[in-house]
A and B are shown apart, each in its own frame.
Chain A
Amino acid sequence: GAVVSQHPSRVICKSGTSVKIECRSLDFQATTMFWYRQFPKQSLMLMATSNEGSKATYEQGVEKDKFLINHASLTLSTLTVTSAHPEDSSFYICSASPARYGYEQYFGPGTRLTVT
């Protein structure tokens, strides 16, 4: 149980284009989903927290207009990187939590984004 999927697993895009990443909880309802970014040999960096049906809460320094998050259902959240630039190249990982107030998080397999 507690399986989270992400799609795509790997994406290469040109600078200036937008990329959408999907995160799905497959066997539970996720009232809360999280989006992280991880650069090579660095730790996870939380970008935002989203609750189903409400606006995402972004961490300090994360541009909400650049990283659009939608959590339209209890099993799906999407992250759209708008006007991507090479410095946005990173490993993006979502996680989902079955409880409203956090508790354990289950991670998706991640999406490796390369912006050329």
Chain B
Amino acid sequence: QKEVEQNSGPLSVPEGAIASLNCTYSDRGSQSFFWYRQYSGKSPELIMFIYSNGDKEDGRFTAQLNKASQYVSLLIRDSQPSDSATYLCALRGITGFQKLVFGTGTRLLVSP
């Protein structure tokens, strides 16, 4: 089992809809969770991080963490075509604590 699993997609949503991106992880000791956005040919950009169970909102983005079920999700409200990108879930594990472990990413396509 991979440490961080994401559906590769593409996830297609119409403009204005809510996009829901999910990520599961295997290490129960994982402490910190991150969502990055990566446009094609560009480097990843940090969107949000979350450490505690529950929801964390920042503008149109909401990160949700459920440590008991070992999943973290990212909701994008009022999706825009400019949100079309690959979204990477990452976590800081307890071994090699400086490193982030990345999922392979979910490609999101927002159609006008």
Contact = CB atoms under 8 A, between A and B. Distances in A.
Interface stretch (A13-21, A41-49, A61-69, A77-85): A41-49
B43 A43 contact: no
B102 A44 contact: yes
11 contacts: A2-B46, A34-B99, A43-B105, A44-B102, A46-B99, A49-B98, A101-B98, A105-B46, A107-B43, A108-B43, A109-B43
B88 interface: yes
Nearest to A45: B102
B57 interface: no
A109 B41 CA distance: 10
Interface string B29-44: 0001010100001111
A99 to B, nearest CB: 9
Contacts of B97: 101-102
Interface in A12-55: 32, 34, 42-44, 46, 49, 51
Contact of B42 (A43, A51, A110): A110
Contact of A43 (B32, B45, B103): B103
A102 B92 contact: yes
A103 B88 contact: no
